Amino acid sequence: MGSHAKAWLVEDESAREMLDRVLTERPFLLLPPLHRVPLRVGNVVELVGPSSSSKTHILIQAAITCILPKLWKGVSYGGLGHSAMFIDLDCRFDVLRFSELLNHRIMEAANGSSSKVGCHQKDSEAQFERMKPYHEELFALCMKRFLYIRCYDSSEFLRLSRTLHYRLQKEREVHGVNVHLLLIDSIGAFHWVDRGSSSFPLECDNRKSWHLQNVSEAVVQEIRRLLLVHPMLVMATKAVVLGNKYSTNELTWNYRKCSAVDNPYSRNITSSDQQLPYREYMPAAWQSFVTHRILVRATDDDLVNGEHQNNSIYLLKWLLPPLNSLDKFTVRDTGVFILS
């Protein structure tokens, strides 16, 4: 009994490590349109929607918020000051566009800081020139915190998931900050190709052939293990084809409330039990892994006046947890804006 008590008292982490762990486990709110529900590390958020529904843009804005510092050279940028890892399964990521959006956010925060102190236009322009080296330094720092990886098939994605622990550990040693966001775009990119193949061998394991279900289960298992060692928020996009039953501007958002006895880890969420305007195709291993689900789609409307003139309007609905609110938002270079 005494030995067990002494073992319990043995220090297994420093005070700094304990504070870092506690602080990262606190809930935090992302910028709109993901502001309705506080998210914690360990949550898995799935953004569902058809093509051209701003899913990737939402991921990018979340990544920019993560890599921006909260405060830099006396200017508030409202970021989290952590690293973000972006896994591109769709192979359509535009790094130049990402850098433009990051620059827009940096300049917007700097300009907002100048306007708050009441600078005249000439003084503001002069201050901007003086701050330019600092902006470039901040841009370089943020880009170092953005980790981009591209995968071309399921076997490569599985191999990556098995090495993420070492990659994240190395990045933490090099940059001194943890990876706070794991972004996957898009999780179903290889589903239909793999489904057309009865089985396929993996170079990392020649002892057996892998099927679609095996790969999904293995990827989910590896990410689960990863989250135990590297607490992160996981966000993934999933492309779907919405049914013709729902017109673009007349949406019926019906869902069945789950009873308290339902097991979220074994329940297969499909269009039949939530009456969603799309058919669920991802394997049950991934579906049970998701803790939050959001449905987004574009509308046929464009704003013709006001601050966001000529911008497309998008709709967002929280499905898991189910919320009664339906958000309208528009996308600009400086971020995503909720419409009243």
| 30-82 pLDDT, tens digit each | 777 888 898 988 999 999 999 888 999 999 999 999 999 998 888 889 899 99
Give kind and range of the element (H or E) at residue 267: none
Domain span at 314: 34-112+121-197+210-241+277-339
17 assigned to some structural domain: no
Q: Do residues 243 and 252 lie in contact, with contact meaning Cβ atoms separated by under 8 Å?
A: no
Tell me how many domains the chain contains. 1
* Phi then psi dihedrals of residue 96, to 5 deg: -65, -40
pLDDT in tens, 141-165: 999 999 999 999 988 999 999 999 9
Look at residue 140 and tell me if it is in a domain.
yes
Global pTM reads 0.77
**What digits encode the pLDDT tens for the residues 232-247?**
999 999 998 776 544 4
Report which DSSP code applies to 10.
S
Helices (H), the chain: 2-9, 15-25, 55-67, 95-116, 121-145, 154-175, 191-196, 212-229, 271-274, 284-289
What whole-number distance in Å separates Cα of residue 57 and Cα of residue 32? 12
Tens place of pLDDT for every residue, the chain, 340 residues? 555 455 444 555 566 665 555 555 555 667 778 888 989 889 999 999 998 889 999 999 999 999 999 988 888 898 999 999 999 999 999 999 999 999 999 988 877 765 554 445 555 555 556 666 778 899 999 999 999 999 999 889 999 999 999 999 988 888 888 899 999 999 999 888 877 765 555 555 544 456 667 888 999 999 999 999 999 999 999 998 776 544 433 344 443 333 333 333 333 333 333 445 678 889 999 999 999 999 999 887 665 455 556 678 999 999 999 998 899 998 887 778 888 6
**Rounded to whole angstroms, how far apart are CA atoms 285 and 265?**
8
Residue 250 lies in a domain: no
Question: Does residue 270 belong to any structural domain of this protein?
Answer: no
* Domain presence at residue 102: yes
For residue 106, being part of any structural domain is answered with: yes
Domain of residue 38, CATH code: 3.40.50.300
Q: Look at residue 202 and tell me if it is in a domain.
A: no
